[in-house]
Amino acid sequence: MPELPEVETIVSALRDGRSEYHASVVGLTVGDAEVLWPKTLAAPTEEEFQTRIREQMITGLSRRGKFLVFCLATDHLLIHLRMSGDLRLEGIQDESGNPKPFDKHDRLALNFTEGSRLVFNDTRKFGRVWLAKDPVDITGNLGPEPLDESFTAQQFHQMLTARGRQLKPLLMDQTFIAGLGNIYTDEALHLARLHPLSQSSQITPDQSGGLLEAIRAVLSEGIRRNGASIDWVYRGGDFQNHFRAYGRTGEPCPECGTLIERLVVGQRGTHICPNCQPIL
């Protein structure tokens, strides 16, 4: 599943004109929409969606947690990529001037009056799209943004100690903190030298401060490297070539040389250095 750095990379490409189509979606006006798989549209109804989105211009694009948030003239379009979602901006016609056919796993498309279209492709069909007046209606239960400078180490420590949960499942809970998934949680915990099964209520202020620094460091590095490309879903980044722990079972820890081990935490494959990350 694309995590915060991968979603941020997609947002930047579409917003700043760095996609394969080399154009920005900002300033484009929706002529009409095509819902190719009805369950992709979470809300509103397809009829209302088709009516409301028509002739709305995209005025901005941002990210909240793992959501892409398109600011329209009067509404907001939110997209969650889930396990296998992807977006591409392309021309509506092929090189011969014929209508370009959709791919097998395309689920929804916005056709712009300028002659291009934004297509949501999702092989596993878990991704969802919302059209809402206020994006908070969809994202209101998300936790703080970890890269937000106003999110302090003291606040983070209070949040951790108020909950008696294992660190990794807690960090992956989007209502606790937004944007972290399996990869960047493993990377942050390794950098902070904390075991994923440690109890959050036992974390000291220094440890929580170090963990927040580690989270910000791995997310920022992930963004700098355009995310991680580890399977057929997300492509283009190279952070996978710089993992400290994730997916490195049996390889030496970059800090101490101890072999990285794999365990299962909350039904998720988890990677640790048993020497650097003793359980509390």
For residue range 59-79, list pLDDT tens digits in order. 999 999 999 999 999 999 999
Q: Is residue 148 part of a domain?
A: no
Q: Is residue 280 part of a domain?
A: no
Provide the mean pLDDT of the chain.
94
Q: Is residue 125 part of a domain?
A: yes
Confidence of residue 191 (pLDDT cuts 50, 70, 90): very high
Confidence of residue 23 (pLDDT cuts 50, 70, 90): confident
pLDDT of residue 234: 59
Q: Is residue 147 part of a domain?
A: no
Q: What is the CATH number of the domain that holds 33?
A: 3.20.190.10
Domain boundary among 88, 104, 139: 139
Quote the Cα angle for 92-97-98, to 5°.
70
Q: Which domain holds residue 164?
A: 153-272
Domain boundary among 139, 164, 181: 139
Question: Tokens standing for 183?
Answer: 């990869």
Say if residues 74 and 30 touch (Cβ distance below 8 Å). Answer: no
13 with 114, same domain: the answer is yes
52 with 89, same domain: the answer is yes
159 with 256, same domain: the answer is yes
- Torsion over CA: 34, 118, 58, 175 (sign): positive
131 with 181, same domain: the answer is no
Question: Per-residue b/e over 65-92, b at no fewer than 16 CB within 10 Å?
Answer: bbbbbbbbeebbbbbbbeebbbbbbbee
175 with 263, same domain: the answer is yes
Question: Tokens standing for 225?
Answer: 């490297």
121 with 158, same domain: the answer is no
pLDDT of residue 31: 97
Question: Tokens standing for 238?
Answer: 């190279």
Whether the ω angle into residue 44 lies within 30 degrees of 0, i.e. cis, is yes
Q: Is residue 145 part of a domain?
A: no
Residues in the chain: 280
> Which residues are known catalytic residues?
2-3, 66, 268
How far is 126 from 83, CA to CA, in rounded Å? Answer: 6
Whether the ω angle into residue 101 lies within 30 degrees of 0, i.e. cis, is no
pLDDT, tens only, 213-263: 999 999 999 999 988 886 655 567 889 999 999 999 999 999 999 999 999
Average pLDDT over residues 171-183: 97
Does this model's pTM top 0.85? My answer is yes
pLDDT > 90? residue 58 = yes
Which amino acid is residue 149, in one-letter code?
A: E
126 with 178, same domain: the answer is no
pLDDT of residue 94: 84
Q: Is residue 277 part of a domain?
A: no
34 with 64, same domain: the answer is yes
Q: Is residue 202 part of a domain?
A: yes
Domain boundary among 115, 139, 163: 139
Average pLDDT over residues 173-201: 97
Say if residues 249 and 164 touch (Cβ distance below 8 Å). Answer: no
227 with 133, same domain: the answer is no
162 with 238, same domain: the answer is yes
pLDDT, tens only, 93-131: 888 889 899 999 999 999 999 999 999 999 999 999 999
Q: What is the CATH number of the domain that holds 203?
A: 1.10.8.50
Indicate the number of domains in the chain: 2
179 with 57, same domain: the answer is no
pLDDT > 70? residue 267 = yes
75 with 168, same domain: the answer is no
Q: Which residues pair with 194 in a beta bridge?
A: none
How far is 199 from 36, CA to CA, in rounded Å? Answer: 45
Pairing of strands 41-43, 128-132: parallel
Q: Is residue 203 part of a domain?
A: yes
Choose the most confident range, by mean pLDDT, from 13-17, 99-103, 154-158.
154-158
